[in-house]
Amino acid sequence: MRSSNPALKGASFLDLHSGTIVRGRSDVMSLNGTVNKTGMLLLLCVLTASFAWSQVSTPAGIVGAQPYMWGGLIGGLVLAMVTIFKKEWAPVTAPLYALVEGFFLGAISAMFNHMYEGIVMQAVLLTFGTLFALLFAYRSGLVKATENFKLGVVAATGGVFLVYMASMVLGFFGINIPMIHESGLLGIGFSLVVVVIAALNLVLDFDFIETGVEQGAPKYMEWYGAFGLMVTLVWLYIEFLRLLSKLQSR
């Protein structure tokens, strides 16, 4: 239960055959290496997001946002699953995931910005502000990833996942879960809770990466750790967009 992020869990450092910790010999995971690779993934994501944004940011282009959005979403999901089950492929699949996810983020950001101008910049600032604030809190010891903390975040994340899955399945039958997706007080409160849960997952991700460095994980785990951290950042950014859109629609 190192992290509720499926890409970042304690078993990722285990050899699936022997159940023992996999340690690199001379080429091992480092904190600086993971930070650098996280920056590379973010840069790749921004490049494709900027391209998608430029294609659909006008009112006429919004109509053509669907291919970028759904293509990026489905492609990102496939690459994420491949990366999770084939961690040693992360040096290749993680950059591909960042590129594909950028198309999704660029398209959906343009759509939100068309409805509520300026919302994207607010969401970006809140996302990275949260990242650096929690990183400071974690490194300074203000926030510690204790076992009870991990258990609580894992349980809360599982609850959010079940609500979203139920909402999606019921949506196929024309049934909507009332209020939580609306701009009323309950909907805003729900989004606030989800934002907090997504943010707390960053703490677990920091702990996961630090554990990998301490245990001498193989070098490719730098890419895997960066990929997992980016999964959480994407989730957090989308939740900030949803929250801000509810606030502005009032």
Between CA 102 and CA 140 the distance in angstroms is 32
Convert the pLDDT of each residue in 14-58 to its tens digit.
Answer: 443 344 444 444 588 999 999 999 999 999 999 999 999 988 877
Q: Is the pLDDT of residue 10 over 80?
A: no
What angle is formed at CA 232 by the lines to CA 16 and CA 152, rounded to 5 degrees? 80
Q: Is the pLDDT of residue 171 over 50?
A: yes
Contact (Cβ atoms closer than 8 angstroms) between residue 65 and residue 57: no
Least confident range from 52-61, 62-71, 188-197: namely 52-61
Convert the pLDDT of each residue in 198-225 to its tens digit.
Answer: 999 999 999 999 999 988 889 999 999 9
Residues 6+ apart with CB under 8 A from 18: none
Long-range Cβ contacts of 83-90 (<8 Å, 24+ apart)? 83/7, 83/224, 83/227, 84/6, 84/7, 87/12, 87/220, 87/221, 87/224, 88/218, 88/220, 90/220, 90/221, 90/223, 90/224, 90/227
